Homo-oligomer: A and B are copies of this chain.
Amino acid sequence: MIVSTPPSATADPHDVLGYLLKHAALQLTALIDAALEPFDIDSKDFGALRVLAHREPTSQLEVAKTLGIDRTTMVALLDVLERKGIVTRRPDPADRRRNVVELTAHGFKTYEDAEAAHGRAESEFLGAISPGAVDQLRRTLRTLVEH
């Protein structure tokens, strides 16, 4: 080493991809949580609602797998949503080990409102970059996450 790390001798953590990904996720989540707060749900809840709104009623495990969370975590998540009257659980007649999870009417309305708010929050977060860069970002992240 001739000179002591020439250009950015500050060791800017913004060079480290892990830092950038983590903090981008944190900031976006905070924005979305704030945007969803009027609907009494948060970003985790929204993820579940989104899956439920676009599917035939499925089991808890299916939803959990889709969201990439544990089935034990799903229990607590649905407990809250059920208490709020957003989803219902009933035993699946075809396989009584399973619970069929469904959005209530109120749940579906909540989802639609939340979807709009979510979109606005995401757009706000992405406001500083061009639409092309947004597409590129989404594609790149998809590739990385899906190996």
Contacts and interface: CB of A to CB of B under 8 A. Distances in A.
A129 B140 contact: yes
Interface in A106-147: 122, 125-126, 128-129, 133, 136-138, 140-147
Interface in A1-36: 5, 9-11, 13-25, 27-29, 32
Nearest to A136: B136
Tell me how many chains of this kind the complex includes: 2
B147 A128 contact: yes
* Main DSSP-derived SS at the A contact region: helix
Interface stretch (A45-53, A73-81, A84-92): A45-53
Given A14-B146, A17-B28, A9 B54 contact: yes
Nearest to A44: B18
Interface residues on A, range: 35 or more
Contacts of A122: 17-18
Contact of A14 (B17, B43, B54, B142): B142
Contacts of A27: 144-145
A93 interface: no
A25 B28 contact: no
Contacts of A25: 18, 21-22, 25
